[in-house]
Amino acid sequence: MKVAVLGSGAMGCLFGAAFHRAEADVVLVDVNADHVDAINAGGLKLDLRGGSETLSIRAAVPSEISERFDLVMVFTKTFHTQAALEGIVSAIGEDTHLLSLQNGLGNDRRLAGFVSEDRVMVGASMLPSDLVGPGHIRSHGEGYSKLYPAFGSDTAMAERVAALLSEGGLETVLDPQIHAAIWSKAIFNAAMNPLCALTLRTPGFLGAHDEALATIHAVVEEGVAAAQANGLMIDAQPIHDLTRTSMTDHADHEASMLQDIKAGRRTEIDAISGAIVEAAKAKGMDVPVTQTLWRLVKLEEAKLATAL
């Protein structure tokens, strides 16, 4: 299988490495030229819980991509999806499938603007991964991934992708209730990411303070109520359990939103907390704690814009 990983930061490289181990023909595509050059010069360096390894994987900036792929896996920030796919449109052929494991809600419709609905897959991953530096990532936690066709019922390609990822060391399963899984991850992210970003601390810090624990609990309950109002009958307890795991097993992991704020970048708060607020509002519901965190992170983004 010819695979392009579009947005090969910490998570993209982690999944690209799994495809490579399973002997897929992989290209890591990213706009960060230093990162791309480092991978091409010295290989992709991975620090994993089980040890370290260096893999020889091709990397490229979007302008260098001309061939067509069987699968384009999208890991860009949600607000970059449109431009990123337009930047490698020559890589998308009549048989190319697109897969998003991005954060937030609404990624299925963004991908459907580039291929037919039967070639769109979506998923959710609970694996942690951090970018240590150009060509170097770290993933010291355990987790799993789920995926499924976003709109159809033909699972042939999804089965191939899940098998390759699992063979490459990342446990991946098919989940017919993938939209519920994506909502669950969005709720988890809405509970953990904004607090990490606002406090400039990792999950272990949050777990040590009652104020954070109460806020996290409230956001999970609000998110589950919003999901259920939108027809997704998800259970709150597994999400509560996952937040506790994040604060213990992944205590030192820097959430993506924290990384963005520290780096002076725009966050994905709109696709995560903002999307939950809007989905709740569409059903006549209020989610006040989620909305407050959304607004506070937007203020942090406004500060960054002013500083520039």
Do 121 and 202 belong to one domain?
no
Same domain for 171 and 227? no
Pairing of strands 97-100, 136-139: unpaired
Does one domain contain both 45 and 148?
yes
Which of these ranges, 111-125, 211-225, 241-255, has the smallest mean pLDDT? 241-255
Quickly count: other Cβ atoms within 10 Å of residue 241's Cβ: 10
Assign residue 280 the CATH number of its domain: 1.10.1040.10
At 219-248, the pLDDT tens digits run 999 999 999 999 999 999 999 999 999 999
Count up the domains in the chain and report the number: 2
CATH number at residue 108: 3.40.50.720
pLDDT at position 190, please?
A: 98
Shared-domain flag, residues 224 and 294: yes
In this structure, are 145 and 238 located in the same domain? no
Collapsed DSSP state (helix, strand, coil) of residue 51: strand
Whether residue 140 is predicted with pLDDT greater than 80 in this model: the reply is no
Pairwise CA distance, residues 226 & 222, whole Å: 6
pLDDT, position 305: 76
pLDDT reported for residue 300: 94
- List the domain range (segments joined by +) for residue 122: 2-176
Of 125, 158, 176, which closes a domain? 176
Residues 12, 120 within the same domain = yes
* Ramachandran category for residue 131: left, alpha or beta (phi over 0 → left; psi -120 to 50 → alpha): beta
Check whether residue 276 and residue 204 sit in a common domain.
yes
The verdict on 224 and 277 lying in the same domain is yes
pLDDT, residue 206, reads: 97
Res 308 pLDDT > 60: no
| pLDDT, tens digit, 9 for 90 and up, residues 65-101 | 999 999 999 999 999 999 999 999 999 999 999 999 9
Boundary residue ending a domain (176, 192, 207) = 176
pLDDT-derived band of residue 307, with 50, 70 and 90 as boundaries?
low
Q: Where are the alpha helices (DSSP H) in the chain?
A: 10-21, 33-42, 81-87, 107-111, 156-167, 178-199, 203-207, 210-229, 236-248, 256-263, 275-282, 288-307
Tell which residue, 180, 192, 194, has the closest CA to residue 224: 180
Q: What is the mean pLDDT of the chain?
A: 95
- The verdict on 242 and 113 lying in the same domain is no
Which range, of 8-17, 123-132, 145-154, 186-195, averages the lowest pLDDT?
123-132
Is residue 249 predicted with pLDDT exceeding 90? Answer: no
Report the predicted TM-score, pTM, of the whole model to 2 decimal places: 0.91
Q: What is the mean pLDDT of residues 161-168?
A: 98
